Amino acid sequence: MRRLEWGAMKRFLATVVAVVLGVAVVAGIGVFSSVNGAEPDAIVAKKVGTKSTPQGELPHYELHMDVYPNSSAAVPPPRADSPINNVLLSGQPFYGPSTSIEVPANSVVTIHFTQYDSGGQIYNPYFAKVHGTMDGTMTWNGKKVTEIKSNEVGHTFTVHQYPEATQPDFFLSVPLPMNAGNAKTDSNGYPVDPQKVSITFITGDAGTYVWNCEYPCGDMYQEFGGPMQQRGWMAGTFEVVA
């Protein structure tokens, strides 16, 4: 699994990053400008009907996302915004098919996740719990749960507002369980029986939000660098459109 393979690589990458940063400063290259980088093409939720809610009958939309431990011959990597980031982010986990998400306002939205990565202990157990879904639960491999063990987290999907935003309040966070380190894998190294999670929530009025993973699955300081702050990998935008 990715974390086992990359454990020995992190010290090497830290050295590479230090060298690259030195060159970047001299050349005037913003290595960490990725937060403001170009957005990947958006995943647009598709209408599947209507759904009864405490707010009455609302339009119901769905979308699907996958979480991979790394790219492979079968799953290409996301597009990096520079050759340097192509090197730094090689072999890192990412969400697909995009990290730019578009959902309709004042609607019910269901997101289906297929999670192929391993995991471990999350620093803040708050993010091992479900927050912001329609009934306070998520469906994990066919069973409704409100939380998972804090030492069995693979990733999280956490949507929140920009600082000092004036748009409607919106917060959503769900944990995606890890796959066991000894899980049976296919020829690309992905579990043949990945973790499957579905969540359903209600959107409010239109607004622009951001999302990220709160599990330390990156590199550098406290493993929150690298893909954790890179759109296209473990962070993105969440647009609620009228």
Can you give the pLDDT at residue 82? 79
Q: What is the mean pLDDT of the chain?
A: 84
Q: For the chain, what is the domain count?
A: 1
**Confidence check: pLDDT of 203 > 90:** yes
Q: 191 and 185 in contact (C-beta within 8 Å)?
A: yes
Task: State mean pLDDT over 82-105.
Answer: 90
Can you give the pLDDT at residue 35? 42
Q: Strand pairing partners for 61? A: 47, 109
Does 40 or 5 have the greater pLDDT score?
Answer: 40
Determine the 3-state secondary structure of 154 from DSSP: strand
Domain hosting 147: range is 2-241
CA angle 216, 219, 222 (to 5 degrees): 55
**pLDDT digits over 131-174, tens only?**
999 999 999 999 999 999 999 999 999 999 887 778 899 999 99
